[in-house]
Amino acid sequence: MHIDIITLFPELLSNIFSHSIMQRSQNKGIVSVEFHNLRDYALNKYKSVDDYAYGGAAGMVMQIEPIYNCLKDLKEKREYDEIIYTAPDGEILNQQVSNELSLKNNICILCGHYKGVDERIREHLITREISIGNYVLSGGELAAAVISDAIIRVIPGVLNDETSALTDSFQNDLVSPPVYSRPSEFNGWKVPEVLLSGNQKLIDNWNIEQSIKRTKERRPEILIR
């Protein structure tokens, strides 16, 4: 998979992508990521890419021309399966969306800023709009990193143990059961006996029961839909 990210702050993203799973996926050659500074496409010497909104609305708007020109250059290099805009009012990112996007070959993510992008970009060039929650961030870089991480970690070969991603919360519309590690007792707090039994059938049944119980308590809306 190749991911292009259009941003005003490539240095912010480069640090995030140079650690942990994000870095490992690139070192393995499974994923390649490039950051593109939108200011390189600015129309003036001040490298500004925003302007006042028509109609007198408060806040600045990301201009259409720098984004259009950047996307035009990128589309000459590769054909995109999705061009994603990080929008607060986009579809909410969930595990199903992440799984779907992990099957794509080429993705471009446009990081929003200010009051957002010129609407004509959203109407004519963006293929998908994704939000990571019902709140507003100062910029789309953190959202782009979250989206990328959620996608990358479920691509086969990225995690050392591929079954780990398959048992994550939300993969089967349930949250994960509680997990424990050594020591089996600490400060009088004990690991459930069933997990120490060695009986895999009992352990599997316990995990399912705990997942259902925890989902009812913490994410009941998942069971309702």
Of 104, 121, 152, the residue that ends a domain is 152
Whether 132 is covered by a domain: the verdict is yes
Q: Which of 38, 121, 60 shows the shortest CA–CA distance to 87?
A: 121
CATH at residue 72: 3.40.1280.10
Same domain? For 173 and 130 the reply is no
Is residue 97 classed exposed, middle or buried when 0-12, 13-18 and 19+ CB atoms within 10 A define those classes? middle
3-state secondary structure of 192: coil
What does the pLDDT profile of the chain (225 residues) look like in tens digits? 999 999 999 999 999 999 999 999 999 999 999 999 999 999 999 999 999 999 988 899 999 999 999 999 999 999 999 999 999 999 999 999 999 999 999 999 999 998 999 999 999 999 999 999 999 999 999 999 999 999 999 999 998 765 555 555 566 778 889 999 999 999 999 999 999 999 999 999 999 999 999 999 998 988 765
Whether 162 is covered by a domain: the verdict is no
Alpha helices in 51-113 (DSSP H): 64-77, 95-101
Same domain? For 119 and 190 the reply is no
Same domain? For 88 and 187 the reply is no
Of 121, 152, 183, the residue that ends a domain is 152
Same domain? For 90 and 177 the reply is no
Whether 24 is covered by a domain: the verdict is yes
Same domain? For 33 and 142 the reply is yes
Domain that holds residue 37: 2-152
Q: What is the pTM of this model?
A: 0.87
Helix H or strand E segment including 203: helix 200-218
Helix H or strand E segment including 23: helix 20-27
What token pair was written down for 17?
């992508």
C-alpha–C-alpha distance, residues 83 and 96, integer Å: 18
Whether 159 is covered by a domain: the verdict is no
Give the CA distances from residue 184 to residues 164, 190, 202, 203, 207, in Å, rounded to whole numbers and listed in that order. Answer: 22, 6, 18, 16, 17
C-alpha–C-alpha distance, residues 223 and 147, integer Å: 24
Same domain? For 34 and 145 the reply is yes
**pLDDT score recorded for residue 173:** 79
Same domain? For 69 and 94 the reply is yes
C-alpha–C-alpha distance, residues 32 and 12, integer Å: 17
CB-based contacts of 138, cutoff 8 Å, min separation 6: 113
Q: How far apart are the first and last CA of the chain?
A: 32
**pLDDT score recorded for residue 103:** 97
**pLDDT score recorded for residue 221:** 86
**pLDDT score recorded for residue 170:** 62
Whether 110 is covered by a domain: the verdict is yes
**pLDDT score recorded for residue 167:** 56
**pLDDT score recorded for residue 224:** 65
Q: Total structural domains in the chain?
A: 2
Whether 158 is covered by a domain: the verdict is no
Spell out a b/e string for 175-189, using b for 16 or more CB atoms within 10 Å of the CB, else e: bbbeeeeeeeeeeee
Same domain? For 124 and 187 the reply is no
Same domain? For 90 and 191 the reply is no
Of 117, 152, 187, the residue that ends a domain is 152
CATH at residue 172: 1.10.1270.20
**pLDDT score recorded for residue 57:** 84
Same domain? For 100 and 186 the reply is no
3-state secondary structure of 86: strand
Same domain? For 24 and 124 the reply is yes
Same domain? For 96 and 7 the reply is yes
What token pair was written down for 201?
């059938």
**pLDDT score recorded for residue 32:** 98
